[in-house]
Amino acid sequence: MPQPVLLSDVGKVLIDFDFSIAARRLAEKCEHPAETVMTLFDDIKLPYEDGRMDDATFVREAIAATGFRGTAAEFEAIWCEIFTQNEPMHTTLDALSGKLPMFLLSNTSGIHKDYFLRTFPIFRHFSGGVYSYSAGCSKPGEEIFQKTIAQLDLDPTRTFYIDDLAANIATATRLGFRTFHYSFAKHPQMQAELDEWLAAQGIG
C-alpha cells in the first residue's frame, strides 16, 4: 500500500512571489509603465505554463511584446527574481525531513521551476514533483491531479495536499486527498492539522 505523502503547491505556500518587482524592473528597460507592463504577458503566460511554448520562445515573445531593451539572460533574471522563501513552512518541513516523502505539484514554467529549485533551501526536502509546463495541463483541472497520482504512486486518502487556491483544493478534495487551503496567516492552523494527520498516520 502506498505510504503517507506530503504534496505541496509552490507559489504562496513554499515561496511568496510579487510580479510588481518584475514590472518595475521591466519598465526601466522598455516604453511601458510598471502599472501596465504585466498585461502584455496575458496572451503568452498561460500557454507557456501549460507547456505549449518552450522557454526560448516565451523569452523571445516576451521581449518582442514589451520592447525590452536588454538580453535574454537579463529578462530571465528579472522574470525570476520575484520570490521569497516562506520561513515558517521551511521550519515545518525541516522537522519532517526523513519522516515521509514530500513532492511538489505546481502550475509553473521551466524557467521559474529551475530557478526556485536551485535558489531556495526549502526545496531540498522534496524528492520530485509534477509541473504544469511538462505535464501539458494545469490545476484546477483534474487531469494534472490524475497524472500526479499515477506518476508519484499516490494514494489520495493517505496524501496531505497544501494549496493556496480554493479551486485547486476543491479538485483535490473531490479526488479524495486530505487538503489544507493555505495562506501565510493560517500557517499555525495548517501546522496543527498536519500534526494531527501525521499522528493518525503513525508518524511522530
Question: How far is 60 from 91, CA to CA, in rounded Å?
Answer: 39
- Identify the band that residue 1 occupies on the pLDDT scale cut at 50, 70 and 90: low
Q: Map grid coordinates 499515477 to a residue.
A: 150
Cell of 41: 504577458
The fold adopted by the segment(s) 5-16+84-200 is Rossmann fold (3.40.50)
Q: Check whether 20 has a pLDDT greater than 80.
A: yes
- For the stretch 30-70, pLDDT in tens is 999 999 999 999 999 999 999 999 999 999 999 999 999 99
Q: Is 87 exposed, middle or buried (0-12, 13-18, 19+ CB in 10 A)?
A: exposed
pTM beyond 0.85: the answer is yes
| Contacts of residue 87, Cβ cutoff 8 Å, sequence gap at least 6 | none
Q: Which residues pair with 179 in a beta bridge?
A: 161
Residue 118: count other Cβ atoms within 10 Å of its Cβ. Answer: 8
